[in-house]
């Protein structure tokens, strides 16, 4: 619950709303997992809480540790509903990112993504999103510095729960993570981007672009049938104009599909037309007979993009050995 929702609930129980603040701090700062631990609350009130409420948690199913330090946890959120969450420390230990899921499976089927092959089993509730962070931090014994909504699911298809949980992570009374440390992504759900702009959400925003050609993008991004590239780029321009900040494009590099000179030149045109930066990510899955790009191919593609003058980042793909890298979640069947 957000503090506001908790205050409403506490008032309904006939208690003073300052009790909500105590419970909120107990849950997110002290990380209590049952009402008996809330020693600042009177015993009678704790008993009432036990009757009227529950502190729920997702259950750890599998925990894998990569040789590069990445850790992947599989959680059962409900009977038969499994999600994955990834802890990604960077080499300098300064940045510790948790990649969280927003849905069980995904209704989209981006061609490079293993999650898209799973049956869709529903949206995660706010507590199931927030508890991924609580559980992962407990397991690794550390706190994250960044959160990315880039795990299983399309965040814009679970908009309300995603935004509510992002605000909980941003709240100074909980994780106090700066809005720039929380990144929400989409494969291109334009209605979600429009809502994000209208509500002037402060969080970082990323679009999975993955192809610069308006005719062929749909062959790897099914969402392009509904929201074609031109419409998506218009909403990206609206984003940067209205919110006055840069948007991030994610680009999975697939040799023979979206790399090479012709695609690079088309991509440069797009990059020049939007206030953006681009993250280049080598393909991790080898679905459809595709292969990963080699270093030469990545360097050549990157060089071709330099004339766009936008920041180009080469994203590492940690956790490949535990199927924890980008596009690999749920690559292992349960």
Active site residue 84: yes
> At 276, which helix (H) or strand (E)?
strand 276-282
Instruction: Give the shortest CB-331-to-ligand SF4 separation in angstroms.
Output: 11
Q: Of 110 and 254, which has the nearer Cβ to ligand SF4?
A: 110
Rg (CA), the chain: 21
Which residues in the 167-196 window bind ligand SF4 by CB under 6 A?
187
The residues pairing with 206 across neighbouring beta strands, listed in sequence order, are 185, 248
Query: Does residue 52 contact residue 126 with C-beta atoms inside 8 Å?
Result: no
Of 152, 182, 220, 264, the one binding ligand SF4 by CB under 6 A = 152
Which residues in the 191-230 window bind ligand SF4 by CB under 6 A?
none
Instruction: Give the shortest CB-217-to-ligand SF4 separation in angstroms.
Output: 13
Instruction: Give the shortest CB-37-to-ligand SF4 separation in angstroms.
Output: 36
User: Any contact of residue 252 with ligand SF4 (CB under 6 A)?
Assistant: no
Would you give the DSSP letter of residue 96? E
At 250, list the tokens.
């994610």
Q: Tell me if residue 81 falls in helix, strand or coil.
A: strand
Choices 32-40, 106-114, 285-293, 302-310; region in contact with ligand SF4 by CB under 6 A = 106-114
User: Any contact of residue 154 with ligand SF4 (CB under 6 A)?
Assistant: yes
Relative orientation angle of helices 260-273 and 295-305, to the nearest 10 degrees = 40
Choices 89-97, 152-160, 171-179, 241-249; region in contact with ligand SF4 by CB under 6 A = 152-160
Alpha-helical (H) ranges within the chain are: 3-12, 18-28, 43-52, 126-140, 159-170, 190-198, 229-243, 260-273, 295-305
Contacts of 257 (CB under 8 A, 6+ apart): 211, 219, 220, 290
Residue of 99, 106, 110, 326 marked active site = 326
Residues that bind ligand SF4 (CB under 6 A): 106, 108-110, 113, 115-116, 152-154, 187
User: Which residues are catalytic, by number?
Assistant: 84, 326
């Amino acid at each position: 619950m957000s503090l506001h929702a908790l205050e409403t609930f506490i008032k309904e129980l006939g208690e003073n709303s300052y009790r909500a603040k105590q419970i909120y701090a107990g849950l997110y700062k002290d990380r209590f997992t049952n009402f008996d631990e809330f020693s600042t609350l009177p015993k009678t009130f704790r008993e009432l809480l036990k009757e009227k409420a529950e502190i729920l948690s997702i259950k750890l199913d599998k925990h894998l540790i990569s040789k590069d330090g990445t850790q992947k946890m599989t959680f059962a959120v409900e009977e038969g509903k499994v999600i994955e969450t990834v802890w990604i420390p960077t080499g300098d230990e300064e940045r510790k990112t948790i990649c969280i899921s927003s849905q069980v499976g995904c209704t989209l089927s981006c061609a490079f993504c293993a999650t898209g092959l799973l049956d869709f089993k529903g949206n995660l509730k706010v507590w199931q999103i927030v508890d991924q962070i609580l559980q992962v931090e407990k397991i690794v014994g550390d706190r994250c510095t960044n959160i990315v909504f880039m795990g299983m699911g399309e965040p814009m298809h679970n908009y309300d729960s995603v935004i509510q949980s992002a605000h909980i992570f941003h709240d100074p009374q909980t994780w106090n993570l700066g809005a720039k440390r929380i990144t929400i992504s989409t494969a291109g759900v334009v209605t979600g981007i429009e809502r994000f702009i209208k509500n002037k959400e402060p969080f970082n925003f990323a679009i999975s672009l993955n192809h610069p050609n308006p005719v062929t993008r749909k062959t790897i991004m099914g969402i392009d049938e509904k929201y074609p590239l031109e419409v998506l780029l218009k909403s990206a321009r609206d984003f940067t104009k209205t919110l006055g900040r840069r948007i991030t494009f994610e680009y999975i590099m697939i040799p023979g599909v979206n790399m090479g000179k012709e695609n690079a030149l088309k991509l440069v045109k797009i990059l020049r037309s939007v206030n953006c930066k681009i993250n280049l990510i080598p393909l991790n899955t080898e679905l459809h007979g595709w292969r990963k790009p080699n270093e030469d191919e990545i360097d050549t593609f990157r060089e071709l993009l330099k004339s766009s003058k936008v920041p180009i980042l080469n994203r590492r793909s940690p956790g490949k050995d535990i199927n924890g890298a980008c596009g690999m979640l749920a690559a292992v069947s349960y």
